């Protein structure tokens, strides 16, 4: 009888321990990230971007400092929705003999293409969070698509590169199997940027759509392609260079042609090249992220 009582006591004790363990080992629930802003381009063909969020940078690409050879317009031929759920930026070869192109080629003799560049500057700002877009980039030597960000001038900086640049994706048209993500700041800008490269393997990135993303926190930035980590940078990892990314930035989407990025080469036999954007999304990341509205 005593052995039976001792066994019952041991079993009861183990049951109590197991119950206590189970009650304290409950799964921790991670709150879902919050969507702060999205862009879907589902309007009819020829629709322009929403002026509440976007404005156009216009003019000669040579003026951007990279020896680019495009002229940016706001014409629907160069940028509009395609009626199939995409925003399309077209780089179109200029014809000096065509009256509709002569207003460009008469004074911008180095401009070889018309194209488009849109920005959220003065309309929307972003600070931390996760920013992604589903994009198909164009092939062709000299084609230079980009989805990127610039820091807003503030008391500690007055422009580029001191206010910072975050390149979520750039691509060289001559290298369709890889994309580039970069950080620019004081003493690490232009050709000295902190760049990370993604290689797609056997299928060129230009063959389809891919999701390009940045996860951005205070003192930390990570780049991804289709969920694959491409590069990671922190305030301590770039020291002694200055970390200039704990501030408001705005978004930019453009298709340049020629310029320094693709080695100055440009295949002028290309009559048209297209950058296609399925959607853009901005969410919190680990609970952080602020959408700043200026209008």
Q: Would you name the residues annotated as active-site residues?
A: 165, 170
What 3 state SS string does the chain have? CHHHHHHHHHHHHHHHHHHHHHHHCCCCCCCCCCEEEEEECCCCCCCCCCCCCCEECCEEHHHHCCCECEEECCCCCCEEECCCCCEEEEEEECCCCCHHHHHHHCCCCCCCEEECEEECCCCEEEECEEEEEEEECCCCCCEEEEEEEEECCECCECCCCCCCEEEEEECCCCCCCEEEEEEEECCECHHHCEEEEEECCCCCHHHCCEEEEEEEECCEEEEEECCEEEEEEEHHHHCCCCCCCCCCEEEEEEEEEECCCCCCCCCCCCCEEEEEEEEEEEECECCECEEEECC
């Amino acid at each position: 009888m005593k052995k039976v009582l001792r066994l019952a006591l041991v079993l009861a004790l183990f049951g109590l321990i197991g119950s206590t363990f189970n009650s304290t080992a409950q799964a921790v629930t991670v709150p879902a990230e919050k969507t702060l802003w999205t862009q879907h381009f589902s309007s009819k063909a020829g629709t322009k971007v929403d002026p509440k969020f976007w404005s156009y940078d216009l003019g000669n690409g040579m003026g951007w400092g990279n020896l680019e050879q495009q002229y940016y317009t706001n014409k629907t031929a160069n940028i509009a929705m395609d009626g199939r759920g995409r925003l399309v930026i077209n780089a179109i070869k200029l014809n000096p003999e065509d009256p509709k192109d002569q207003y460009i080629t008469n004074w911008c003799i180095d401009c070889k293409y018309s194209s488009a560049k849109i920005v959220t500057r003065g309309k929307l700002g972003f600070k931390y969070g996760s920013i992604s877009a589903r994009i198909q980039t164009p092939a062709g030597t000299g084609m230079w698509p980009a989805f990127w960000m610039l820091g807003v001038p503030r008391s500690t900086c007055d422009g580029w590169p001191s206010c910072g640049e975050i390149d979520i994706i750039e691509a060289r048209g001559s290298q369709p199997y890889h994309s580039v993500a970069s950080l620019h700041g004081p003493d690490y800008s232009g050709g000295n940027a902190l760049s990370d490269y993604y290689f797609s393997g056997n299928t060129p990135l230009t063959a389809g759509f891919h999701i390009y993303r940045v996860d951005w926190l205070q003192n930390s930035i990570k780049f991804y392609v289709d969920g694959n980590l491409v590069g990671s940078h922190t305030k301590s990892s770039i020291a002694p260079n200055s970390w200039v990314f704990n501030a408001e930035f705005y978004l930019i989407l453009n298709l340049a042609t020629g310029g320094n990025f693709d080695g100055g080469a440009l295949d002028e036999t290309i009559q048209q090249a297209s950058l296609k954007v399925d959607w853009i999304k901005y969410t919190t990341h680990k609970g952080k992220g602020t959408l700043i509205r200026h209008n």
